[in-house]
């Protein structure tokens, strides 16, 4: 359930950025195509910053911080590097719907992450290894 709390919070954050861009574009009377670019850029841009850059720097996105989870590599419990996080972010848009449906119907408790990255509880990570602190 923590995974979906993080997804919800991160999604709302991206939608809030898109909404602010939409309101700003509406006040400046931009053409429709430029408004679309501004809204998509704000939503996807903030999502990228949150899921890729912040996760690389701090080990979690804002939503994951809120539900006290962290993102680690499966092999050694270290923080994933940028290329892996980028693939995860991009692939997440493709597989998000599948994961939600699978969890809703209890098809799988914790869907496999196709990039070799796992979501773990922060308290479990603290007890795991000092290797994460790199």
pLDDT digits (tens, 9 = 90+) for 16-33: 999 999 998 878 888 889
Domain regions of the chain by residue span: 2-133
Structure tokens at 68: 């006290």
Is the alpha carbon torsion for 126, 73, 41, 43 positive or negative? negative
Mean pLDDT check: name the lowest of 73-82, 83-92, 123-132.
123-132
- pLDDT, one tens digit per residue, over 33-83 is 999 999 999 999 999 999 999 999 999 999 999 999 988 888 888 889 999
Give CA 10 to chain center in angstroms: 6
pLDDT at 114: 67
């Amino acid at each position: 359930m923590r995974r979906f709390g993080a997804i919800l919070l991160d999604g709302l954050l991206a939608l809030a950025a898109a909404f602010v861009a939409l309101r700003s574009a509406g006040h400046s009377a931009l053409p429709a195509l430029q408004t679309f670019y501004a809204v998509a850029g704000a939503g996807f841009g903030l999502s990228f910053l949150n899921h890729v850059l912040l996760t690389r720097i701090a080990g979690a996105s804002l939503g994951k911080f809120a539900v006290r989870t962290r993102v680690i590599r499966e092999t050694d419990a270290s923080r994933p590097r940028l290329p892996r996080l980028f693939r995860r972010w991009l692939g997440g848009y493709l597989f998000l719907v599948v994961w939600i449906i699978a969890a809703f119907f209890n098809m799988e408790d914790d869907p496999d992450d196709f990039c070799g990255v796992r979501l773990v509880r922060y308290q479990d990570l603290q007890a795991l290894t000092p290797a994460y602190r790199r």
